Structure 1
Amino acid sequence: MGVSAMEPVNTRDPSTALRAYIALGWRLTLGHRYRPRQGCTCQNTNCPAPGAHPLLEPLPPLTAATADSALQTAPGAALIAATTHFDAVIVPSRIGMAAMTRLDTVTPVPCLLRDDQAVLLVLPATGRYALVHPDVVARTGPDGWLALPPSRDVRWDTPPWMEAVGTPHRLLHGSDVGRYLAEAFNAEAVNLSPLARNESARGNEGALR
């Protein structure tokens, strides 16, 4: 299955985005909504993902035939995908972007951003192989979920399809993505080490002389 290649998919439009995700075969449901001055419809004043997480009792999966009516019933509701056609590997955004800089030179990897997190999509049931650091989380299987654009504060860095031809990107194995994440974590650790800081300070002193 694929997405129409007639024009770029506007994932800021709920109806267009929902149909594009359904065309990929993803299992979609509606989630909570964010209401200005009232917060998330989950009623939690400290909600960590207002307007971008599943309902406690999920609604039936959406189809192309029910998409528009469902969106009209719950305007602004989050679009929630079950992690059945992919695993979601969640990392700090700085690590995700560092890994993506390298991955972009090899192959496109679907990646979305929310606040200070990056989420890289990998082959189903392989996300555990990307758990290379305590700050990496993997969601997998029918009980896992991912809020998709245009859910509140969620946007694609790299969409899951090739705009030019309308076909989905080939997902990598979690171990392949894990190698690049490990490199990013290691590079950060080196840059933050006392030795690196001392060398940087000496370099700055030399530049001022």
Structure 2
Amino acid sequence: MKKTFMIAVLAVMLVPHYADGQTRFGIGVRGGIVADYDNPEFSLPHKLDIDQLTVVGGHVQFGGFPTFTLELAVESRTHTEKMTFLGAKTSAEVQDLMIAANLKYLFRIPVITPYIGGGIASHNLNYEYNSAVEWPNPEGAIHIPDDGSRFGVHGIAGVALGFAASPIELFIEGRIGRIEGDEESAKYKAVYGGVTLRLL
């Protein structure tokens, strides 16, 4: 019992010590693209395909640990595709409002900080499809999923660039993710860039 108490006291004393000099709280913005977006449950007419999404968003980071950072992020991912056939217009749009919690493991070296990690997310998906043409639809070749919230997981790898005298930290990262569907999961790859303002 005494030994357990001493370990607990030591842990309480060490955590603030390790936290000194580390980013404890930061906010930032990000942007990028989702590439290779592959959703087997979302199929469109010939020559109308959505495989990329534009990303804008923001994040909050909670640090204070030697090698880990917890990040909460909100991202808007959208893309609209249009085409005209014999004067008739057809359009499709995907909107994905993603709310994510990420845990990043930091390899701290001077100036540059590589990191890897992963996260879970809620993807609030909205699909729109409008066509003035009644396209042939053999065996359900055209399929628009229902709107709704889907669970997702993703892996992260990136690098951050910061300086001790500046509260600004730049980062670029890649991501591979999966979003659950009714029967099949959607897969994607993404590239981000952004800036974090370290407040504490």
TM-based fold match above 0.5 = no
More strand, by proportion? 2
More helix, by proportion? 1
TM-score (norm 2): 0.21
Q: Tell which structure's C-alpha radius of gyration is larger.
A: 2
TM-score (norm 1): 0.20
